[in-house]
């Protein structure tokens, strides 16, 4: 299976419309791969909090339209990253869109763990409440977004729902790049799954981005890693390695569920 992670340079000097057109062209250029992955909130930037409201779209807004067309033109499964979604009640969500090779919406995932503690995304956006998996011919994707990477129980839930390839769309800052690499490898090893983690490059809202999108196999080996700048990271991987790893080293079968809290 061949996947391309598009590590997009998101900077304040480029308009959202221009970036949308540029990214759609990049998606079309990847025709022939099986799966394309884009980063989190690449229209605005994940830290451009003041743009979330002004650039918010309905689920079937301009990014949906452009990306559905790009997926069908490329004839490829497309995880189109996330958009600031505004629902019918006016609530904002950080919502990832996954398209089939025909350009139909296969799934939408509203980010569950919002970043910012008492500001930014954490106060501006609502929290998703549903895990999302997507069945491809070769593998089942488990969808997660950026800060979700710090919450192992979310990924265990995805594995319990059948995920074999964990796809993370992110806008991770350079300041915590060591956590990014470490956690991507940890999620792959503990879940015996592929991790495809696609971040952004450049600087937006004064937050330099880490880049370094990464693909890790179920044994924790790094199959490919991007540099800091805009880059298309293309990788070939064998989805069958999930089953063989889980058979040969069946640690997932040794889980002890339902542990009780210590008695005081």
**Residues tagged active-site:** 40, 111, 146
Say if residue 250 is exposed, middle or buried (CB neighbours under 10 Å; 0-12, 13-18, 19+).
exposed
The distance of closest approach from Cβ of residue 226 to ligand LYUYDEPV in the complex, given in angstroms and rounded to an integer, is 17
Q: Could you say which residues in the range 31-50 bind ligand LYUYDEPV, by CB under 6 A?
A: 40, 46
Q: Choose which of 39, 81, 142, 171 interacts with ligand LYUYDEPV (CB under 6 A).
A: 171
CA terminus-to-terminus distance, the chain: 52
Number of residues that bind ligand LYUYDEPV (CB under 6 A): 11
Can you tell me the distance from the alpha carbon of 122 to that of 125, in angstroms, rounded to the nearest whole number?
A: 6
3-class SS of residue 135 = strand
Q: In the chain, count of helices (H) and strands (E)?
A: 7, 14
Q: Is 173 in the site for ligand LYUYDEPV (CB under 6 A)?
A: yes
Choose the binding region for ligand LYUYDEPV from 8-16, 25-33, 170-178, 233-241 (rule: CB under 6 A).
Answer: 170-178
- Taking each helix axis as running N to C, give the angle between helix 16-29 and helix 62-74, from 0 to 180 degrees, rounded to the nearest 10: 20
Choose the binding region for ligand LYUYDEPV from 171-179, 193-201, 227-235, 253-261 (rule: CB under 6 A).
Answer: 171-179
Closer to ligand LYUYDEPV by CB, 205 or 252: give it: 205
3-class SS of residue 57 = strand
3-class SS of residue 65 = helix
Question: Where do contacts with ligand LYUYDEPV occur on this chain (CB under 6 A)?
Answer: 40, 46, 115, 146-147, 150, 171-173, 176, 179
């Amino acid at each position: 299976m061949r996947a391309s992670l598009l590590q997009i340079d998101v900077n304040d000097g480029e308009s959202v419309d221009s970036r949308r057109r540029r990214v759609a062209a990049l998606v079309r250029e990847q025709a022939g791969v099986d799966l394309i992955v884009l980063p989190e909130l690449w229209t605005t930037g994940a830290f451009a909090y003041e743009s979330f409201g002004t650039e918010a779209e309905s689920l079937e807004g301009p990014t949906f339209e452009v990306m559905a067309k790009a997926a069908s033109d490329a004839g490829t499964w497309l995880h189109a990253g996330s958009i600031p979604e505004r629902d019918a009640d006016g609530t904002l969500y950080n919502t990832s869109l996954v398209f089939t090779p025909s350009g139909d919406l296969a799934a939408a995932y509203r980010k569950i763990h919002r970043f910012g503690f008492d500001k930014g995304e954490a106060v501006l956006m609502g929290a998703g409440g549903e895990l999302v998996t997507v069945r491809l011919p070769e593998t089942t994707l488990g969808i997660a977004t950026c800060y979700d990477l710090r919450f192992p129980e979310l990924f265990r839930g995805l594995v319990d729902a059948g995920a074999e390839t964990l796809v993370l769309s992110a806008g991770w800052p350079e300041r915590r790049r060591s956590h990014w690499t470490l956690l991507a490898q940890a999620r792959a090893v503990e879940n015996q799954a592929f991790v495809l983690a696609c971040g952004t490059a450049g600087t937006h809202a004064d937050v330099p981005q880490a880049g370094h999108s990464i693909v890790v196999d179920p044994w924790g080996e790094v199959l490919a890693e991007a540099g800091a700048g805009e880059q298309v990271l293309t990788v070939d991987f064998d989805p069958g390695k999930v089953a063989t790893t889980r058979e040969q080293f069946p640690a997932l079968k040794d889980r002890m569920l339902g542990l009780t809290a210590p008695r005081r």
